[in-house]
A and B are shown apart, each in its own frame.
Chain A
Amino acid sequence: MTMRRVVVVGGSIAAVTAIDALRLHGYEGSIVMVSAERHAPYSRVPLSKDVLSGASSAETAQLPALDDSVDLILGDRATTLDTTSRTVELASGARVPFDGLVVATGARPIRLAEDGQTGELVLRDLPDAMVIAERASHATSAIVVGGGFLGMEVASTLLDLGLAVTLVDREPPLRRLLGPWMASLVTTAAVAKGLRVVHGSGNVQLIGDPVDGVRLGDGQTLRADLVVSAVGDRPAAEWLASSGLPVRGGVVVDEQCRVAPGVVAAGDVAVVQRPAGLLTRSPHWTNAVEQGRVAAISLIDADNAVEARPDPYYWTEQFGLNIKIVGNLPGLGSPEILDGDVESRSALLQWGNSCEPVATIAAINYRIAVGRLKKLRAVGDGT
């Protein structure tokens, strides 16, 4: 099929990278980007940190503008995909026809509030960050539900803003992601800065309408001026329900990010079907960049389609720690200290396991080029 018009649904880094890759790989036809967001593409990364704290304005998160050859439709959500007529229908009623389609609609935060219960705060997009910042400006206390990267970053920023912050989760913060050793290091730093950590077995329930607290599984209740849920996200794939495309949680792609003829997907909305049948999802910036690139190539240059290479690289900033990690998570057991020292919280660390002598490398408040981190791991890996 001659590809004259590619529609990219989504407005974040996977969508933007796909658009860049289309052009870089020689596609000269028309490109339409459809985004539910009112803002031109921006980075979500600073939202939980400098944008939330007010240290940086919202504008500083903006990504450099796409060139004029891309038509942007902002503030209009894709509601239906018709794969027969090859048309995307939007909330405004507009119908956008395509020859090629990139699905990059991202994800939506999971909410804990009951239907109709108001006041729950989440952090996914720029308006979310602005709402939390505004609420925080006349609050003295906050509860953050969820001790993952996002929850801990939000807790750290709110603490820096002077709020009394309680973090609630069923398990110790970050343990599932980072393993017990590093999770403990971060939590120790967090508690030293004043974070209160409360573990509760069972589900956390939001109380009040508007929400002003939580009830833990054991019945204990906590109250605060604001309650932020950071309990994960779900691929924003509902609009594909009637499309006939494979949706299992997210839209199912192969390792070349292909969904169906002339349809590819990338980023947080995608789940990858591995050859063994396993479905995996990597809702991280680096993965969105890689999948955006691969999806574009698969769409316009099928003969030269490439596999999205897993590039496990994660970073977070919280409680005075800048952490960069390359490799498998969680690191198991205690790491070998390659340089620096843990006492002063500036160290280069390495974990091995029975299969790989260097499975994970982490730099904590330790300046090292990311490329060098990756090489350290690759050398140990023998790859």
Chain B
Amino acid sequence: MRIDIDTARCEGHGLCAQVAPQVFDLDDDDLVILRQVGQIPADLEAAAASGARSCPVAALSTSS
């Protein structure tokens, strides 16, 4: 699984980083960044998808 970020939509609400801190973080500018580059490890996929779904502005999507 991969997580795709639409940085233009991200408003820095930070819920993804609360729901899945292993996967998401916020940079100094308030915007979401991924803790892992590329493929999400299998054991973090469920958390990553949950974090993506918590985004109130739908800035995060998942792809396989």
Contacts and interface: CB of A to CB of B under 8 A. Distances in A.
Contacts of A66: 53
Interface residues of A, number: 33
B15 A368 contact: no
B1 to A, nearest CB: 10
B50 interface: yes
A343 interface: no
Interface in B1-32: 9, 11-15, 17, 19, 26-30
Interface of A: 13, 16-17, 20-21, 23-24, 41-43, 45-46, 60-67, 285-286, 289, 293, 313, 315, 322, 324, 367-371
B12 A367 contact: yes
Contact of A370 (B30, B46, B57): B30
Contact of A315 (B9, B13, B17, B54): B13
A24 B46 contact: yes
Given A60-B58, A315-B11, 11 more contacts: A17-B19, A20-B53, A41-B53, A43-B56, A46-B57, A64-B62, A67-B49, A289-B19, A324-B13, A369-B28, A369-B29
Contact of B29 (A65, A293, A367): A367
B34 interface: no
A285 B56 contact: yes
B42 to A, nearest CB: 13
Contacts of A285: 15, 56
With most chain B CB atoms within 10 A of its CB, the pick from A13, A20, A46, A368 is A20
B58 A370 contact: no
A113 to B, nearest CB: 30
B8 to A, nearest CB: 10
A65 B62 CA distance: 8
A49 B58 CA distance: 13
Contacts of A16: 53
Interface residues of B, number: 27
Contacts of B26: 369-371
Given A42-B58, A43-B56, A369 B30 contact: yes
B32 to A, nearest CB: 10
Contacts of B17: 371
B55 interface: yes
A17 B58 contact: no
Contact of B14 (A41, A67, A370): A370
Interface string B28-54: 111000000000000000110110111
Given A24-B46, A367-B29, A13 B54 contact: yes
A289 B54 contact: yes
Given A367-B29, A371-B14, A371-B17, A63 B50 contact: no
Contacts of B61: 64
Contacts of A371: 14, 17, 26
A369 B19 CA distance: 16
A324 B50 CA distance: 23
Contacts of B56: 13, 43, 45, 285
B20 to A, nearest CB: 9
Contacts of A369: 12, 14, 26-30
